[in-house]
């Protein structure tokens, strides 16, 4: 007998509603009933649809049954009380962290679903979890624990090019940056790139995603506003590392920072509103409302979040492929990581949902990128798998000034002088992203030596961000890398 391979069309023909439950049913049957006759498998699915309550404890079909049950029995909004005491959580670089971020983390640590937490040294206040917050929960996902920019990530390509060329051919590299991506909320491509992520079945299964598919196609390979960037720099690989697999020495690096664009923002907004409607928390913690993984809404968010993460990765890959083509070079190595996402991971022997909002995955031997600022070094790191940090590390330097404060206190002249001193060409970028608005990345890195090992550095040289109206060019001669 050939292995069973039930299709979504067959499942929907039985009367299953459009949405993630179709994919869940396909997976359950094809995985656990592969040797069952097609007629018997379809009869089983029909019975689950007719009486899902009878299968809520079934070893293989409980997830399908729960999703169907919740679709027909939507939960009434419930008031949720926080625990009187917060669970203990680790704080790294406490002297660097503002009181507001600590208070937000304490609120998250009082949720009845929270089982472990940690705060990274670049932490500052946000919505829901503070940026730099890591939270493990039991069978529940918090949309604002992931963040609005789902799947925001770093991606670094290393090229075997002498970095002195960045100073010798600055205008050429600048053109490459301008040609490779566009920045800002309204950034679109008239002739979009192609990528398999846009053909994902979920776009046809969830009405929300279907409505976002066209814009996602137009924004594929674009970059966000704020602190998102695309830049060339000098990469120094310090020593031979078996995980990185790159010979020590100097390279040209191309580094990007961006997320899932309008797709992720709309998913975050939609499911956060649902979570807040379903679970009403005290006002200070209201943005920490969660969705249970036993609920259809939780399953939907999980699938949509993962699609947004795949889309964010695809955006970077499209940009990096353009750069590789323009340079006429294949990258020696690519290193990348999400830092606004949630993962299913084991915590103290139990599977949990681990939210990292502005935090870098740093499991044992896991590679990642921690950037500094438009002038400060970034770092290629390898995780140590430190359990008290929930296998996490900082995702950057972290802001020490709000955008409003930065715009009120930093002048264009100050920024120009600093760029000159650091030998950086800023093609476009706002004063709210000036290096003075950020913590000292070296102090942040010193606060997490138990979490990661540094295997390489990235020194920015040619930087492109949003806010083209604030173009600032460093017009004098660049110093060579050896002279810095």
* Number of other CB atoms surrounding residue 200 within 10 Å: 16
Q: Are 378 and 372 in contact (CB under 8 A)?
A: yes
Pair type for strands 392-394 and 359-361? antiparallel
Q: What is the pLDDT of residue 158?
A: 98
Give dist(CA 124, CA 89) in Å, integer.
16
Q: Model confidence at 322, in pLDDT bands (50, 70, 90)?
A: very high
Structural domains in the chain, sorted by start: 8-72 (no CATH), 153-483 (3.90.1860.10)
- Which residue, 363, 341, 370, 366, is CA-closest to 354? 341
SS3 of 285, please? helix
Q: What is the pLDDT of residue 57?
A: 92
* Number of other CB atoms surrounding residue 73 within 10 Å: 10
* Number of other CB atoms surrounding residue 344 within 10 Å: 11
The continuous run of DSSP H or E covering 138 comes out as: none
Structure tokens at 160: 């075997």
Give dist(CA 202, CA 128) in Å, integer.
27
* Number of other CB atoms surrounding residue 185 within 10 Å: 13
Give dist(CA 311, CA 221) in Å, integer.
10
**Quick check: 470 pLDDT over 70?**
no
Structure tokens at 86: 């917060």
Q: What is the pLDDT of residue 79?
A: 83
Helix then strand then coil, % of the chain, to nearest 5: 40, 25, 35
Give dist(CA 403, CA 122) in Å, integer.
16
Q: What are the φ and ψ backbone dihedral angles of 402, each rounded to 5 degrees?
A: -65, 165
Q: Model confidence at 105, in pLDDT bands (50, 70, 90)?
A: very high
pLDDT digits (tens, 9 = 90+) for 362-379: 999 999 999 999 999 999
Q: What is the pLDDT of residue 125?
A: 93
Q: Model confidence at 473, in pLDDT bands (50, 70, 90)?
A: very low
- Which residue, 263, 267, 234, is CA-closest to 251? 234
Q: What is the pLDDT of residue 1?
A: 55
Average pLDDT, the chain: 92
**Quick check: 462 pLDDT over 90?**
yes
In the block, tokens 């924004």 appear at: 219
The residue-averaged pLDDT of 422-442 equals 95
In the block, tokens 């800023």 appear at: 426
């Amino acid at each position: 007998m050939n292995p069973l391979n039930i299709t979504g069309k067959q499942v929907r023909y039985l009367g299953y509603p459009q949405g993630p439950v179709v994919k869940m049913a396909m997976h359950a049957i094809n995985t656990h009933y592969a040797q069952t006759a097609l007629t018997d498998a379809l009869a089983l699915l029909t019975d689950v649809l007719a009486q899902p309550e009878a299968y809520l404890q079934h070893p293989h079909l409980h997830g399908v049954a729960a999703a169907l049950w919740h679709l027909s029995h939507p939960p009434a909004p419930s008031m949720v009380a926080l625990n009187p005491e917060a669970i203990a959580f680790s704080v790294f670089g406490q002297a660097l962290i503002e009181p507001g971020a600590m208070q937000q983390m304490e609120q998250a640590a009082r949720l009845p679903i929270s089982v472990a937490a940690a705060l990274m040294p670049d932490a500052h206040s946000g919505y829901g979890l503070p940026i730099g917050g890591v939270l493990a929960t039991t069978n529940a996902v918090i949309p604002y624990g992931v963040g609005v920019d789902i799947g925001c990530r770093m991606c670094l390509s290393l090229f075997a090019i002498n970095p002195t060329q960045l100073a010798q051919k600055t205008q050429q590299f600048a053109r490459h940056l301008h040609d490779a991506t566009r920045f800002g909320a309204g950034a679109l491509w008239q002739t979009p790139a192609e990528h398999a992520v846009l053909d994902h079945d979920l776009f046809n299964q969830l009405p929300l995603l279907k409505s976002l598919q066209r814009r996602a196609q137009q924004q594929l390979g674009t970059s966000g506003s704020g602190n998102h960037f695309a830049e060339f720099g000098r990469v120094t690989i310090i020593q031979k590392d078996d995980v990185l697999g790159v010979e020590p020495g100097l390279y040209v690096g191309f580094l990007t920072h961006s997320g899932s664009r309008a797709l992720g923002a709309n998913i975050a907004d939609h499911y956060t509103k649902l979570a807040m409607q379903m679970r009403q928390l005290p006002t200070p913690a209201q943005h920490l409302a969660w969705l249970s993984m036993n609920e259809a809404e939780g399953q939907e968010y999980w699938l949509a979040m993962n699609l947004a993460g795949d889309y964010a990765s695809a955006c970077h890959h499209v940009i990096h492929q353009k750069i590789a083509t323009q340079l006429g070079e294949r990258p020696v190595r690519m290193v990348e990581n999400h830092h606004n996402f949630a993962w299913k991971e084991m915590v103290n022997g139990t599977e949990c949902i681990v939210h990292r909002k502005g935090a870098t995955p740093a499991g044992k031997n896991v590679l990642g990128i921690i950037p500094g600022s438009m002038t400060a070094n970034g770092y290629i790191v390898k995780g140590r798998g430190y359990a008290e940090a929930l296998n996490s590390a900082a995702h950057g330097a972290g802001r020490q000034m709000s955008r409003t404060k930065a715009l009120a206190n930093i002048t264009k002249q100050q920024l120009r002088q600093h760029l000159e001193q650091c030998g950086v060409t800023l093609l476009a970028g706002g004063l709210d992203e000036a290096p003075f608005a950020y913590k000292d990345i070296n102090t942040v890195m010193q606060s997490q030596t138990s979490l990661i090992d540094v295997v390489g550095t990235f020194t920015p040289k040619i930087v492109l961000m949003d806010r083209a109206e604030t173009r600032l060019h460093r017009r004098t001669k660049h110093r060579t890398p050896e002279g810095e």
